[in-house]
């Protein structure tokens, strides 16, 4: 069942509805649309809220015929552009605002544990954050995918996965959606998690003990609009685009309407924000999602256990032989099961891009999970020899 919110026209009953489909939550989008209605009181808007994959499925099936698509997912717009010119080539994949990536944290939670709020990914791998973190996964959250990809691009494939796997050992759990991260932090289930600042600002408005720190060298997450090629209401569509272009140049207006930053503020900044190489990200998108799921998501409880054991043992005075064993265990747990060379292999990328239910893809997926579980078991065996 589609969830549709209807904003009725107030002045011009004959005006056609502007149909929008978005991957944003109703909470985030409603402020934007309320602001637009002040800009255009006669606006009559139909809006459909769906997850990114559902948006793509609905559009491909022809079950909905919107005028405008709003999303921060480059994966969605890339897929739509490839789909027989579904998008107007001159009015699509255009950024008008952006979010910053931040660590939302619960001040009371971290204060009780005497933990300094993080501002780098490396900080999340420290022992003091063990079981006090949550995050989403690339397969469930496009913004998390961009954050994970930014780590791989900044640190390199091997070092990037090493860092991600170490952070994975500190996770209390993996959230099904990125906004679930901010909710878990707000409820005190965990102390910290990576999100876009929109979610952090929403929680900060409600709870005085919630705040955030920007991720140092964290990527920005642009918000894009796209116009469907056969849009039935071109006049209203172009009027809405004119409004979005105003947001792109007015920081205070954009923040008030959408909890986003005007895109031109990033262009004018003396310190240019980091953005990922989208071509590389799209090329290995399915491989990155699969690896994250089959290593971190599939093994979260056992990773939490084994890394917790390592952290406890490292608090003791270890012999050189014991320290060597700890190093061996860490290497097993943090070495990527796909090498950089393999990640660039056409054959490996082809396997990752196969339909999820196909026999070859299932076999490939299972082999990755088994390989990583074998590394975990070897690490456990080593740790058992340290009394």
Q: pLDDT tens-digit profile of 348-380?
A: 999 999 999 999 999 999 999 999 999 999 999
- What mean pLDDT, rounded, does the chain reach? 89
User: Which one, of 349, 278, 304, 288, lies nearest residue 138 by Cα?
Assistant: 288
What whole-number distance in Å separates Cα of residue 164 and Cα of residue 98?
A: 25
Residue span of the structural domain in which 368 resides:
284-387
Together in a domain, 318 and 247: no
85 vs 118: which has the higher pLDDT: 118
What's the pLDDT score for residue 51?
Answer: 83
The b/e string for 165-192 (b: 16+ C-beta within 10 A; e otherwise) is bbbbbbbbbbbeebbbbbbbbbeebbbb
Look up residue 297 and give its two tokens. 């998501």
- Give the percent of the chain with pLDDT over 70: 93
Identify whether residues 292 and 382 lie together within a single domain: yes
Query: What is the pLDDT at residue 253?
Result: 79
The 10s digit of each residue's pLDDT in 287-310 is 999 999 999 999 999 999 999 999
pLDDT of residue 11: 41
Domains in the chain, number: 2
pLDDT of residue 325: 97
Looking at residue 85, its pLDDT comes to: 64
Q: Is this model's pTM higher than 0.85 or not?
A: yes
Q: In terms of C-beta density within 10 A (0-12 exposed, 13-18 middle, 19 or more buried), how is residue 100 classed?
A: buried
The pLDDT value recorded for residue 9 is 39
Among 37, 14, 18, which residue's Cα sits nearest to residue 238?
18
pLDDT tier for residue 273 given thresholds of 50, 70 and 90: low
Specify if 93 maps to a domain: yes
Does any domain span residue 308? yes
User: Residue 52: inside a domain, yes or no?
Assistant: yes
Within this chain, do residues 95 and 225 fall inside the same structural domain, yes or no?
yes
Secondary structure (3-state) at 303? helix
Are residue 16 and residue 95 in the same domain, yes or no? yes
The reply to whether 13 and 84 lie within a common domain is yes
Residue 33 lies in a domain: yes
- State yes or no: pLDDT of 281 exceeds 50: yes
CA distance readout (Å), 47 to 8, 236, 278: 11, 14, 28
User: Which of 237-246, 324-333, 354-363 has the lowest average pLDDT?
Assistant: 237-246
More confident residue, 226 or 129: 129
37 in any annotated domain: yes
- 3-state secondary structure (DSSP) of residue 347: helix
Q: Is the confidence at residue 234, as pLDDT, over 90?
A: no
Q: Are residues 310 and 228 in the same domain?
A: no
12 Cβ neighbours under 8 A, 6+ residues apart: 42, 44
Q: Is the pLDDT of residue 15 over 80?
A: no
Q: Are 285 and 75 in contact (CB under 8 A)?
A: yes
Looking at the structure, do residues 377 and 329 belong to the same domain, yes or no?
Answer: yes
Strands 261-262 and 87-106, by their bridges, are antiparallel
Residues 262, 320: one domain? no
Q: Which CA distances in Å does 175 have to 115, 207, 306?
A: 22, 21, 21
Q: Two tokens at 35?
A: 């602001």
Instruction: Please state, as a whole number, how many other Cβ atoms lie within 10 Å of the Cβ of residue 139.
Output: 17
Q: Tell me which range, 92-101, 118-127, 310-319, is most confidently predicted by mean pLDDT.
A: 118-127
Rounded CA-CA distance 252/188 in Å is 31
pLDDT at 270: 44
- How do strand 45-49 and strand 18-22 relate by DSSP bridges? parallel
Residue at 56 is within a domain: yes
**Same-domain check for residues 264 and 340:** no
- Provide the token pair at 282: 């799209």
Q: What percent of the chain is helix, strand and coil (3-state, nearest 5)?
A: 55, 20, 30
> Does some domain include residue 149?
no
Let me know: does 23 contact 72? Beta carbons within 8 Å: yes
17, 16, 21, 22: which is closest to 6 by C-alpha? 17
Confidence band of 12 (pLDDT split at 50, 70, 90): very low
- Residue 4 has a pLDDT of 43
The pLDDT value recorded for residue 267 is 54
Angle between helix 251-258 and helix 26-39 axes, rounded to 10 deg: 130
Does one domain contain both 314 and 378? yes
pLDDT at 324 over 90: yes
Three-state secondary-structure class, residue 373 = helix
Residue 127 lies in a domain: no
Same-domain check for residues 238 and 328 = no
Q: Count of H helices and E strands in the chain?
A: 19, 11
Mean pLDDT of 230-240: 88
Where is the domain boundary, 268, 302, 334? 268
Residue 366 main-chain phi, psi, to 5 deg: -65, -35
Residues 229, 376 share a domain: no
Choose one of 268, 300, 327: the last residue of a domain: 268
Is 5 a residue whose pLDDT tops 50? Answer: no
Q: Where is average pLDDT lowest: 51-55, 65-69, 238-242?
A: 51-55
Predicted confidence (pLDDT) at residue 96 exceeds the cutoff of 80: yes
Highest mean pLDDT among 17-26, 29-38, 104-113, 239-248: 104-113
Contact present, 313 and 383 (Cβ < 8 Å): yes
What are the two backbone dihedrals, phi and then psi, of residue 87, each rounded to the nearest 5 degrees?
A: -100, 145
Residue range 171-181: average pLDDT?
92
């Amino acid at each position: 069942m589609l969830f549709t919110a209807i904003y009725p026209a107030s002045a011009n009953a004959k005006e056609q509805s502007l149909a929008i489909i978005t991957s944003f939550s109703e909470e985030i989008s409603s402020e934007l649309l309320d602001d637009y209605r002040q800009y255009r009181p006669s606006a009559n808007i139909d809006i459909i809220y769906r997850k990114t994959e559902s948006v793509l499925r609905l559009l491909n099936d022809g079950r909905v015929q919107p005028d405008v698509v709003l999303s921060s997912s480059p994966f969605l717009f890339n897929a739509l552009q490839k789909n027989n010119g579904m998008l107007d080539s001159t009015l699509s994949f255009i950024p008008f605002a952006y979010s910053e990536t931040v660590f939302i944290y619960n001040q009371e939670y971290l204060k009780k544990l005497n933990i300094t709020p993080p501002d780098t990914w490396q900080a999340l791998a420290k022992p003091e954050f063990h079981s006090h973190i949550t995050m989403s996964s690339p397969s469930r959250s496009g913004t998390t995918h961009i954050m994970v990809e930014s780590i791989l691009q900044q640190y390199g494939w091997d070092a990037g996965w090493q860092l991600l796997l170490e952070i994975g050992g500190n996770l209390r759990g993996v959230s099904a959606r990125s906004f679930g991260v901010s909710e878990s932090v707000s409820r005190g289930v965990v102390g910290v998690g990576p999100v876009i600042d929109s979610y952090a600002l929403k929680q900060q408005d409600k709870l005085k003990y919630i705040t955030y720190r920007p991720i140092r060298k964290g990527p920005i997450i642009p918000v894009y609009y796209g116009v469907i090629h056969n849009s039935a209401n071109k006049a209203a569509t172009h009027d809405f685009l004119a409004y979005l272009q105003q947001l792109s140049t007015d920081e205070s207006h954009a923040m008030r309407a959408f909890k986003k930053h005007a895109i031109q503020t990033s262009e004018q900044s003396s310190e240019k924000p980091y953005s990922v190489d989208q071509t590389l990200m799209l090329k290995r998108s399915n491989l990155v999602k699969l690896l994250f799921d089959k290593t971190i998501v599939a093994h979260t409880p056992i990773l939490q256990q084994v890394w917790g054991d390592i952290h406890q043992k490292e608090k003791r005075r270890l012999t050189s032989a014991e320290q060597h064993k700890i190093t061996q265990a860490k290497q097993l747990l943090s070495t990527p099961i796909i090498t950089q060379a393999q990640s660039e292999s056409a054959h490996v990328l082809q396997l990752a891009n196969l339909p999820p239910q196909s026999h070859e893809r299932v076999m490939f997926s299972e082999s990755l999970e088994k390989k990583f579980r074998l590394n975990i078991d070897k690490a456990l065996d080593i740790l058992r020899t340290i009394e």
